[in-house]
Every structure is written in C-alpha cells, then in structure tokens.
Amino acid sequence: MEASKIMKEKMIEYTVIYERGETNWGAYIPDLPGCVSIGDTLIEVQENIKEAMAQSARRRRSHCI
C-alpha cells in the first residue's frame, strides 16, 4: 500500500495597507510584492485583496512543487 502525502499549510499573518483615494480604495501587502487591489468601497477592496492574496499563495505553491 502506498503512503499518501499529507500537506499541512502554515498560517502566516500579513499586514494589509488600505488607502482611501478620492473616488476609490486601494490595498497592498508590503511583504507580498505585486499583491495589490482596488475597489469602489472599503468592503470591496477587502474582498479583492483576499482574492489577490489567495492567488499569490497558489502561485507560490505551484513554484514549490
């Protein structure tokens, strides 16, 4: 019987910087270069930056395999 690999993910906390512009919101994560987002509202940019962080994590994982 072949042993299956179990991958455990480690939780890492990142600081997110939110900036309010004249007409929208922006967000970026200083520790993840290129992980940026914009939205019309604070709630929208919070949702968008979560997705940007998830995509960044998927890219990092795909490069490690």
The predicted pLDDT at position 17 comes to 97
The predicted pLDDT at position 9 comes to 64
CA distance 52 to 35: 6
The predicted pLDDT at position 11 comes to 78
CA distances from 26 to 19, 23, 50, 54 (A): 5, 10, 13, 17
The predicted pLDDT at position 1 comes to 42
What pLDDT, in 10s, does the model give residues 3-36?
A: 455 556 677 899 999 999 999 999 999 999 999 9
